[in-house]
């Protein structure tokens, strides 16, 4: 007998059970990461987030879970549906609140329908996908969105769901790069010279850089990281949603999976970048600097990360959303996927038609981006390694 329940806090779900269902070492889907966001004031209604995590039970046993939120806006998602919201509201309807299945503030691909790796897992994923549609209809909300869909989840979604994709820039080690010099040697002469010039600018500014595990940081160093993060957000007119307590939590809960790259001068820390990692991937998250220094953003956010991947044998580096400047530094286009359920059938048809046009544009864009690879020898096709499944 299958039963579904929603929970207003992830604390209602046992951490070991949740992580067992995730069947992944992706840190962003870990119970400790999501619980940390809730416990430290990052997830609250003032920011438009309210947890509504969905669980599936078979004869009382937990067999499925979904990180689910009631959203009062579209901030912190990175799969942009502002035009959909505008169209629905101009038609006289309420687009918000909506449901979102994703990791808050994190444009990171990973599992979303958590059902473990057993023989019944695929069936449970299909049950969860169907339940998400029914929950949206029953509550009278406009829509439900599953963002940055991980490999293995795509087949759970039927034709009621709209498929969407986008491009993200990612660095991959082809398997034979042993150190940073091997990465440089693979670049064209022009790009190799540019990378060396950018790194030299940082050294000429008298800055020293280091890459540290979060568990080794002092409280003062975490304070510096958080101050730089909020300072940079404030400068750009954005709202910093992650608290100092959450940064501290990362160091405690993920001592070898959270990382900070620091730049220091004689007076102390002047810039820093925050990262997370799994067993094979480094994830770039946030950065901040007190003063603009030529080349420093590239050094801390990209080159320090690439060097760390090569030291640790990590195969992939996902530095975050958007940023065409990443392409010139060896981050090639890779597909990301999402699924969207629009409750109103007519509006769903209109959005589907829009996505068909968008998909054609994105396909052409991917080919154009891949043609500008900075590597001396490269596969001209963009990476399409994210989950399979029906495209518009």
Q: CB of 183 within 8 A of CB of 330? A: yes
Output the pLDDT for position 381.
Answer: 53
CB neighbour list of residue 123: distance below 8 Å, 6 or more residues apart: none
Look at residue 380 and tell me whether its pLDDT is greater than 50. no
What does the DSSP 8-state code read for residue 151? T
Q: Quick one: average pLDDT of 176-191? A: 97
- Residues 221-264 have pLDDT tens digits of 999 999 999 999 998 888 899 999 999 999 999 999 999 999 99
The answer to whether the predicted template modeling score (pTM) of the entire model surpasses 0.85 is yes
CA dist 375 to 141, 186, 190, 213, 320, Å? 47, 6, 10, 30, 21
Q: What does the angle CA 306 – CA 172 – CA 185 come to, to the nearest 5 degrees?
A: 65
Q: CB of 168 within 8 A of CB of 384? A: no
Whole-number average pLDDT of the chain = 94
Output the pLDDT for position 384.
Answer: 58
In the chain, % helix, strand, coil (3-state, to 5) comes to 40, 25, 35
Number of H helices, E strands in the chain: 11, 14
Work out the percent of the chain whose per-residue pLDDT is above 70: 96
Burial bucket for residue 268 (CB in 10 Å: 0-12, 13-18, 19+) = exposed
Q: Which residue has the higher pLDDT, 323 or 33?
A: 33
Output the pLDDT for position 370.
Answer: 87
Output the pLDDT for position 76.
Answer: 93
Tokens linked to 371: 């043609």
Q: Where in the chain is the domain with CATH 3.40.630.30?
A: 2-166+334-370, 174-314
Output the pLDDT for position 383.
Answer: 60
Output the pLDDT for position 144.
Answer: 98
Beta strand residue intervals within the chain, DSSP E = 2-7, 49-51, 53-58, 61-66, 68-71, 98-101, 143-146, 162-172, 208-213, 258-265, 268-277, 281-289, 316-318, 332-342
Output the pLDDT for position 322.
Answer: 77
* Run of H or E residues at 87: helix 82-90
Any idea which fold 2-166+334-370 has? Aminopeptidase (3.40.630)
Output the pLDDT for position 377.
Answer: 78
Output the pLDDT for position 142.
Answer: 98
Instruction: Give the whole-angstrom CA distance, residue 170 versus residue 153.
Output: 21
Q: Quick one: average pLDDT of 168-181? A: 96
Look at residue 388 and tell me whether its pLDDT is greater than 80. no
- Residues 18-77 have pLDDT tens digits of 999 999 999 999 999 999 999 999 999 999 999 999 999 999 999 999 999 999 999 999
SS3 call for 66? strand
Instruction: Give the whole-angstrom CA distance, residue 19 versus residue 252.
Output: 17
- Residues 84-94 have pLDDT tens digits of 999 999 999 99
Instruction: Give the whole-angstrom CA distance, residue 392 versus residue 383.
Output: 18
Could you confirm whether domain 174-314 is CATH 3.30.420.610?
A: no
Output the pLDDT for position 385.
Answer: 47
Report cis status (omega within 30 of 0) of the bond before 119: no
Torsions phi, psi for 382 (to 5 deg): -65, 155
* Run of H or E residues at 251: helix 244-253
Output the pLDDT for position 167.
Answer: 95
Output the pLDDT for position 80.
Answer: 93
């Amino acid at each position: 007998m299958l039963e579904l329940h929603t929970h207003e806090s992830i604390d209602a779900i046992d951490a070991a059970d949740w992580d067992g269902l995730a069947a992944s070492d992706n840190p962003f889907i870990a119970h400790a990461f999501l619980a940390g966001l809730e416990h430290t004031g990052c997830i609250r209604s003032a920011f438009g987030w309210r947890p509504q995590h969905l669980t599936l039970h078979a004869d009382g046993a937990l067999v499925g879970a979904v990180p689910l939120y009631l959203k009062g806006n579209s901030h912190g998602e990175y799969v942009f549906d502002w035009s959909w919201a505008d169209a629905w509201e101009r038609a006289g309807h309420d687009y918000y609140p909506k449901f979102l299945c994703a990791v808050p503030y994190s444009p990171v691909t990973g599992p979303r329908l958590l059902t473990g790796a057993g023989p019944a897992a695929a069936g449970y994923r299909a049950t969860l996908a169907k339940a998400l549609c029914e929950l949206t209809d029953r509550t009278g909300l406009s829509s439900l969105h599953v963002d940055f869909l991980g490999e293995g989840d795509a087949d759970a979604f039927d034709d009621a769901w709209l498929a969407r994709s986008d491009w993200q820039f990612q660095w991959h080690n082809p398997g034979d790069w042993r150190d940073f010099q091997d990465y440089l040697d693979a670049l064209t002469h022009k790009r190799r010279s540019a990378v060396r010039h950018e790194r030299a600018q940082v050294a000429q500014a008298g800055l020293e850089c280091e890459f540290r595990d979060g568990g080794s940081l002092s409280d003062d160093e975490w304070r510096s990281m958080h101050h730089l993060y909020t300072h940079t957000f404030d400068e750009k007119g954005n709202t910093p949603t992650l608290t100092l307590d959450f940064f501290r939590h990362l160091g405690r809960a993920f001592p070898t999976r959270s990382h900070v790259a620091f730049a220091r001068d004689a007076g102390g820390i002047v810039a820093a970048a925050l990262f997370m990692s799994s067993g094979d991937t480094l994830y770039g998250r946030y950065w901040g600097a007190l003063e603009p220094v030529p080349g420093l953003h590239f050094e801390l956010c990209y080159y320090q990360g690439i060097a760390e991947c090569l030291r640790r044998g990590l195969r992939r580096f996902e530095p975050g959303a958007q940023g065409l400047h990443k392409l010139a530094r060896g981050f090639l286009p890779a597909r990301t996927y999402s699924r969207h359920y629009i409750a109103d059938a007519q509006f769903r048809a209109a959005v589907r038609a829009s996505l068909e046009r968008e998909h054609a544009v994105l396909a052409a864009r991917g080919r154009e981006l891949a043609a500008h690879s900075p590597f001396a020898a490269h596969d001209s096709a963009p990476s399409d390694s994210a989950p399979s499944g029906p495209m518009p």
